[in-house]
Amino acid sequence: MNQADLRRIAVEAMRQRGLLPAFAPQALREAEAARSARPAGGGDIRDLRPLPWFSIDNDDTRDLDQLSVAEAAAGGAVRLRVAIADVDAMVRPGGAVDGHAGVNTTSVYTAAGVFPMLPEVLSTDLTSLHEGEERLAVVVDMQVQADGTVGSSEIYRAVVLNRAKLTYDHVSAWLDGTAPPPPQARALPQLEQQVRLHDAVATQLRQWRQSRGALNVKTLSARPVFEAGRLVDLQPDEKNRAKDLIADLMIATNSVTARFLADKGFPSLRRFLQSPRRWDRIEALAASHGVRLPAQPDPLALDAFLRQRREADPDGFADLSLAIVKMLGSGEYAAAGAATPSLAHFGLAVNDYAHSTAPNRRYPDLVTQRLVKAALAGDAPPYSADALTAIRGTARCRRTTPARSNARCSRPPGPSCCTAAPATASTPSSRVRRPRAPSCASPGPCSKGAWCAASRGWTWEMRPGSGWWPWTRSRASLISSGPRTLLRLFVAR
């Protein structure tokens, strides 16, 4: 199987699910016009170009969303600044580019390549924080205490300059003492001290979350390897020290952003993971390893079990982690008003969490950025709570390849193969409880392999051997099998 075959599979799968594999001509013209347009400035924009900003990402990443810089403070504290690309300055709300992004809600990653949420003239050029390029950014400025808690913080707009584009693998090996400093260190003497200070503050942030029950799991992913256009192998994409470093910084940034919007009285899109409803299954899994968990969900007890199993069986820990992750369920978005109580993320052990650090490739982050900029400017919120609820996901019917097992219907799928699941009451935060999946015995033209829409943004997929699984537009995932081929479209944190 070659890249062209995989791309055809990806395009077909995206279209079946209502995603857009290509940009409309109007969107491309709009994006190209941004080359000659002056980015929207105005307001209080600080000049932070002299600071030693740098990025850490994958070797082949071209859509750079964030930079960071750190400064040691008194008492073991660290002033950490994270600069997020000001994508809103180039993407007009309600325009053709924004419309495409609002439909796909994310960049779609496949073995055949990336289907970007924004045209590449923007995401990999004008709104990417490339090394050596001046860019507008939204800066989250926070004081991280020695115990890993975040004290004071502020958010503001600034002009920044990426001084060094570093990669996960090299930085991780450098920190572990198995690789030399990157070439950029010669031109930027502060770089080594910056990276090591980042590593220290990330460790503090992580340890504080772990003390509250952040789960220490190991999940596996793979990268396709092509030779002469043909898929020849899948190489493991391992987690490493640098990836953990960036993840910890982004978690802190997302938490500060959510609290900022709440303090300003603005609605927001929160990301949360509810307390697991399948806790009894997690209890049973732990019991099979001789560990008794509490009767009620307890992240600290679950993390202690995970740590024990990592030490006892490191080779089997990834499989155990995958089983736990499935039982925990998926993260969700919720449209939260200013008075909405905190929404906890069970896996990350944080409250008030909003995706904000990847506006080039995730639409909720772009929406959050617009809310933040409006709050900074003293303007009214650009989105109402109802508008955020609509962005969070609408009920739509999708079809997938007919399943061979768990198929109880014989009628072939048709254009209206959609049956609504029972609606559930919403809370003031517009959070929706997961409805029961529809059965094939339900009235209506639902058939084997059909996607059946539920109320308020949920759809359900029949997975062979697994029953019904939930799916949302903003967390789209697809597995399409071929001869030894695995195609995964997107999995969000």
Q: Is the pLDDT of residue 492 over 80?
A: no
Residues 85 and 137: beta-carbon distance below 8 Å:
yes
The answer to which of 218-227, 265-274, 277-286 has the lowest mean pLDDT is 218-227
Other residues' Cβ atoms within 10 Å of the Cβ of residue 257: 28
d(CA 6, CA 226): 12
Per DSSP, which regions of 326-368 are E strands?
Answer: 332-336, 344-345, 350-351
Residues 363 and 70: beta-carbon distance below 8 Å:
no
d(CA 308, CA 314): 10
* Biggest distance spanned by C-alpha atoms of the chain: 70
pLDDT at 424: 29
Per DSSP, which regions of 339-476 are E strands?
Answer: 344-345, 350-351, 452-453, 459-463, 467-471
- Nearest-5° Cα angle at 425, 388 to 336: 30
Which amino acid would we find at residue 283? E
Mean pLDDT of the chain: 80
Query: Which residue reads 């002299």 in tokens?
Result: 50
Percent of the chain with pLDDT strictly greater than 70: 78
Q: Is the pLDDT of residue 55 over 90?
A: yes
Helices 363-377 & 96-104 angle (0-180, nearest 10):
130
Q: Is the pLDDT of residue 444 over 90?
A: no
Query: Which residue reads 């909003």 in tokens?
Result: 354
Average confidence (pLDDT) over 177-203: 94
The structure tokens listed for 450 are 């059909």
Please report, for residues 97, 276, 344, 375, 413, the alpha-carbon distance to residue 304 in angstroms, rounded to integers and kept in the order given: 46, 17, 20, 41, 46
Domain ranges across the chain: 3-273+331-392, 394-471
Which amino acid would we find at residue 181? P
Contacts of 309 by beta carbon, 8 Å cutoff, 6+ apart? 289, 316, 317, 320
Q: Is the pLDDT of residue 454 over 60?
A: no
Backbone torsions φ then ψ of 486, nearest 5 degrees: -120, 120
Torsion of CA 258, 263, 266, 268, to 10 degrees: 20
- By CB atoms closer than 10 A (0-12, 13-18, 19+), residue 147 is exposed
Helix H or strand E segment including 64: none
Average confidence (pLDDT) over 441-466: 33
Question: Concatenated DSSP letters for 227-268?
Answer: ETTEEEEEEE----HHHHHHHHHHHHHHHHHHHHHHHTT--E
The structure tokens listed for 174 are 């450098």
Indicate the pLDDT class of residue 113, thresholds 50, 70 and 90: confident
What 225-233 contacts at long range (C-beta under 8 Å, 24+ apart), as own/partner pairs, is: 226/2, 226/3, 229/2, 229/3, 229/4, 230/1, 230/2, 230/3, 231/1, 231/2, 231/3, 231/6, 231/111, 231/485
Indicate the pLDDT class of residue 40, thresholds 50, 70 and 90: low
The answer to which of 190-194, 217-221, 257-261, 426-430 has the lowest mean pLDDT is 426-430
Q: Which of 371, 378, 373 is nearest to 337 (CA)?
A: 371
Per the DSSP assignment, residues forming a β-bridge with 135 are 160
Average confidence (pLDDT) over 52-63: 94
pTM of the model as a whole: 0.79
Residues 202 and 248: beta-carbon distance below 8 Å:
yes
- By CB atoms closer than 10 A (0-12, 13-18, 19+), residue 341 is exposed
pLDDT at 399: 29
Please report, for residues 86, 264, 267, 269, 376, the alpha-carbon distance to residue 373 in angstroms, rounded to integers and kept in the order given: 10, 11, 13, 15, 5
Helix H or strand E segment including 362: none
- Going by the DSSP 8-state scheme, the letter that residue 341 receives in this structure is P
Q: Which of 315, 420, 337, 344 is nearest to 386 (CA)?
A: 337
Q: Is the pLDDT of residue 142 over 90?
A: yes
Using only C-alpha atoms, what is the Rg of the chain? 23
Helix H or strand E segment including 226: strand 222-227
